[in-house]
Structure 1
Amino acid sequence: MSRRPLLGCIADDFTGATDLANNLVRSGMRTVQTIGVPDETGGPVDADALVVALKSRTIPADEAVAQSLAALRWLQSQGVQQVCFKYCSTFDSTPAGNIGPVTDALLDALHGPGQGFTIACPAFPDNQRTVFKGHLFVGDVLLSDSGMRHHPLTPMTDANLVRVLQAQTQRRVGLVPHEVVARGAEAIAQRFAALQADGVGIAVVDAIGNDDLYRIGVALAGMPLVTAGSGIAIGLPQNWRTAGALAPDEAADRLPAATGLRAVVSGSCSLATNAQVQQFRQQGGTAFAVNPLDIAAGQDVVAQALEWAAPRLAQGPVLVYATAEAEAVRAVQARLGVAEAGELVERTLSRIAAGLVQAGVRQLVVAGGETSGAVVQALGVRQMAIGPQIDPGVPWTAAVSPVCAGDTVHVALKSGNFGSLDFFTKAFARLEEQARP
């Protein structure tokens, strides 16, 4: 029996999209993720939730706005009842955007210029992202004291989300503090009304645990636009279930059986991914390091990596990585420029990933949001089914790729900051578990 989508989501990067879709599937919503905005004439999609994955987090703000509005129009054509703009749980952005400009544009489109009201809540407690008194914490430290302060594209040096967002938006930004959230959905809704009466257009909402997300979720019933991290997907589905519009679906995360060879491609330079790469190598994993300076010097690093991998793939997962410590990243950026260094690495890793799939890899882990976007585009993937969770925020997906003559490829897109120390080996073990009867 086909379903009419209830929730339509716009994600500003590919790993964030699968992160959100993962939480929706875990909440029992059958979820389909598209890569980019589908053709508006493509017909209805059979799912409870739709997630449009964009690569708009670090592009110019006007381009991010245009892509997001195109995604909104397609979601509206599918008849969704609520729209969610999803960004990273570390609020990755700069004073120029893109979170504020995209939020403004979506509110304008849904309510009229300067009108409407929404929230901003990047909290994802399962991944140690919490908001208290409007300040974003990563684990036990403020965002500004975390490894995000060294991010090569969006260094986060201020944990005060009200202040960060106010610099990006034309609307007034307010706060729903935790003492209000703790009192429940009715108190939250009353605070929303008071803020709107005071001229506030966007409210940062505190959340330090999943119970808070459930309370917030109830208060968001009927709100046309929600902006948040993927944690909000824990609270939103309950509203449709309460209304009788969403039935339980115990098989929402079932994927086809995995086959083929295994590989990991890592472009993230986050502290978490650095540790995961080191752990994989220390445990005897086979790895090939990509040096951006070699690429810039004209070496055929793609051919070198694929030649290296060819005799090793049959022995187990191989890792190709450009992951590096913050000082090494800055040194490369100083020589090549921030944008050029990033594009060189993304383009090279995406071509390596496509070559690995052509060589028989059908189980592929990709680390890093920008890298994931480049890889999925190189594989020609347009739509992904969302499967079982590996770690909070990271599921396996199944997609059809023209690179391998339409075979199914299982792909895990991991945000740089996510995953346990042994994530790379755990990921493949998770696929084996699902295959068991």
Structure 2
Amino acid sequence: MQQGERTQDNQLVLSFYGDDFTGSTDAMESLTINGLPTVLFLDVPSQSMLERFPHVKCIGIAGDSRVMSPEQMQAELPDIFKRLKELRSHFVHYKVCSTFDSSKDIGNIATVVNISKDIFGELSWVPVLVAAPDLQRYTVFGNHFAAMNGETYRLDRHPTMSHHPITPMSEADLREVLKEQGAKETAGINLVELQQPLDALFQTLNVKLSKQPEVVLFDSASKADVEKVGLLLEKVREPKEPLFLIGSSGVGHAISAVAKDKQAMASQSPVKPTKRDRLLVVSGSCSPVTQKQLEWAMNHGFEGIHLTLEEVMAAKKDEQAKRQLVEKACQTIRDGKDLVMFTALGPDDPSIARNQQKMLENGLPISETSKILGSYLGELAKLVIQETGIERLVVAGGDTSSYATKELGIYALEMITSISPGAPLCRCYSDDDSIDGLELALKGGQFGQDDYFAEVKDI
């Protein structure tokens, strides 16, 4: 055994790649609160890097494949998957959003299935578990449902996901979604079948596998369902090889059931929150949930700066324009106020259509809007942090978080505490002293109550 390698007793239970940053922190939270301390990296860690975190049982990689084309995914993911496999965790998880954000051309999940075949060839099929009942996401007879404002909607009728600006979901049956993206054959284990004793369920699965499906989609509508899936996956896993699977943060709950059964639980991380007196929020989210949070904040003492795409593109070319934006933000912080910097106020913000038109005029794909805005928000946030010493930051928006976090110059995140399911507060690790120790919450567009930003500040 080489120096730094983990022994059989402290082998990683699970390693995962998250297809966006907010989804990655969601997965880290799911594992950590279920007793499997997890650290989230921005790249696959070396063994020496892992030695800095001896208490962890799971690691994640915060990626951004949700906004990639299939060609970009084919270029980037195989090497990451190979390096994850070399960590020899029991499970390797490709983490997707619990609303299955994807399409044939962007974030194609069937492409991930195909890539995995060449690297994780031990199983001839890929398990898929999208349900996350703790987030009110359910899969029933293959059809996916998600709650919003106290109502549960079929995915293709969800007020946000059916009108998503990049990957609108027009189909609720996930088997059909995968088929449209290029998956050849998807079998399913439904809710009725899940109620069987584990041995009988294992036989049911084997009958379905006799037809050689490429994917097996698992229903789940409760914590008990998710745990049953976890126990079944452990039963089919090859002892000496990691099992590759695709799914939401519900996978964390499923695998924790296996870990508990094996008494593989580890002590919690000692990282604790510290009281902070000011908060910086940057948002590229178009979600109505984030809209309500921004409006609540600005109605309760937060200052607001609305950035347009034109302003961002001008500031990227003009150092003086950038300095003016940074100084305006810094002065607000120095005055003792909390600040939100945002690019859209909900899905009906007129700036969205103007942004899309501006992109087309510049010969750029609309899908690049998130990269331009998110990267610049991250750059602004870093400058404000460095100049004011502010110690707590929220980034709102899944795609925004992916690009903004890269600009901060961190190499790992560890959960400090839960705030709202799927959007925890984290501690940043960085070689930059001004960023190391920063407390960061990455909030997907659909997560959090109206007063989420105040909750983050006051924790």
TM-score normalised over the length of structure 2: 0.86
Aligned residue runs from structure 1 range 384-395, under 5 A: 384-395=413-424
Query: Quick check: 1:321 aligned with 2:342?
Result: yes
Identical counterparts, % of pairs: 25
Separation in 1, partners of 2:341, 2:288: 17
Gapped regions of structure 1 (runs ≥ 5): 431-437
- Indicate conservation of the 8 Å contact 1:34/1:383, yes or no: yes
Q: 1:341 aligns with which of 349, 369, 374?
A: 369
Separation in 2, partners of 1:13, 1:72: 16
The amino acid across from 2:154 in the alignment is L
Shift in alpha-carbon separation, 1:170–1:304, aligned structure 2, 3 A: same
Q: 1:69 aligns with which of 78, 81, 90?
A: 78
- Indicate conservation of the 8 Å contact 1:280/1:425, yes or no: yes
Aligned residue runs from structure 1 range 277-288, under 5 A: 277-288=294-305
Shift in alpha-carbon separation, 1:303–1:394, aligned structure 2, 3 A: same
Deviation at 1:162, TM superposition (A): 0.5
- Indicate conservation of the 8 Å contact 1:121/1:229, yes or no: yes
What SS does structure 2 have at the residue aligned with 1:361?
coil
- Indicate conservation of the 8 Å contact 1:181/1:187, yes or no: no
Which sits farther off after the overlay, 398-407 or 144-153?
Answer: 398-407
Deviation at 1:274, TM superposition (A): 1.3
Deviation at 1:420, TM superposition (A): 1.3
- Indicate conservation of the 8 Å contact 1:40/1:77, yes or no: no
Query: Quick check: 1:332 aligned with 2:355?
Result: yes
Aligned residue runs from structure 1 range 16-165, under 5 A: 16-38=23-45, 46=54, 47-96=56-105, 97-111=107-121, 116-139=124-147, 140-146=152-158, 147-165=160-178
The amino acid across from 2:296 in the alignment is Q
Deviation at 1:72, TM superposition (A): 2.1
2:363 is matched with none
Deviation at 1:194, TM superposition (A): 1.7
Deviation at 1:302, TM superposition (A): 3.8
Q: 2:214 aligns with which of 197, 201, 226?
A: 201
1:236 is matched with 255
Deviation at 1:212, TM superposition (A): 1.2
Which sits farther off after the overlay, 294-303 or 275-284?
Answer: 294-303
Shift in alpha-carbon separation, 1:58–1:188, aligned structure 2, 3 A: farther
Which sits farther off after the overlay, 380-389 or 337-346?
Answer: 337-346
1:307 is matched with 327
2:18 is matched with 11
Query: Quick check: 1:182 aligned with 2:199?
Result: no
Which sits farther off after the overlay, 137-146 or 74-83?
Answer: 74-83
Aligned residue runs from structure 1 range 227-266, under 5 A: 227-244=246-263, 246-249=264-267, 251-252=268-269, 254-255=271-272, 257=274, 261-266=278-283
Shift in alpha-carbon separation, 1:184–1:161, aligned structure 2, 3 A: farther
Deviations 1:369-419 (A, max 9, x none): 121112221111111122211111111111133454463111111111111
Deviation at 1:77, TM superposition (A): 2.4
Separation in 2, partners of 1:408, 1:248: 23
What SS does structure 1 have at the residue aligned with 2:438?
strand
Cα RMSD over matched residues?
A: 2.4
2:240 is matched with none
Shift in alpha-carbon separation, 1:4–1:256, aligned structure 2, 3 A: farther
- Indicate conservation of the 8 Å contact 1:254/1:387, yes or no: yes
Which sits farther off after the overlay, 391-400 or 337-346?
Answer: 337-346
Q: How many residue pairs were aligned? A: 426
Shift in alpha-carbon separation, 1:414–1:186, aligned structure 2, 3 A: farther
What SS does structure 1 have at the residue aligned with 2:391?
strand
1:434 is matched with none
Shift in alpha-carbon separation, 1:405–1:307, aligned structure 2, 3 A: closer
Which sits farther off after the overlay, 9-18 or 67-76?
Answer: 67-76
What SS does structure 1 have at the residue aligned with 2:66?
coil
Which sits farther off after the overlay, 419-428 or 293-302?
Answer: 293-302
Deviations 1:3-56 (A, max 9, x none): 331211111111111100101000111211111334588565632001111111
Deviation at 1:257, TM superposition (A): 3.5
Separation in 1, partners of 2:447, 2:112: 25
Deviation at 1:184, TM superposition (A): 4.8
- Indicate conservation of the 8 Å contact 2:65/2:73, yes or no: yes
Shift in alpha-carbon separation, 1:301–1:154, aligned structure 2, 3 A: farther
Separation in 1, partners of 2:119, 2:454: 44
2:405 is matched with 376
Separation in 2, partners of 1:116, 1:252: 37
Shift in alpha-carbon separation, 1:179–1:18, aligned structure 2, 3 A: same
What SS does structure 1 have at the residue aligned with 2:257?
helix
Separation in 1, partners of 2:312, 2:189: 48
Separation in 2, partners of 1:145, 1:323: 23
2:382 is matched with 354
The amino acid across from 1:330 in the alignment is A
- Indicate conservation of the 8 Å contact 1:176/1:203, yes or no: yes
The amino acid across from 2:112 in the alignment is V
Deviation at 1:284, TM superposition (A): 2.7
Separation in 2, partners of 1:399, 1:288: 25
What SS does structure 2 have at the residue aligned with 1:93?
coil
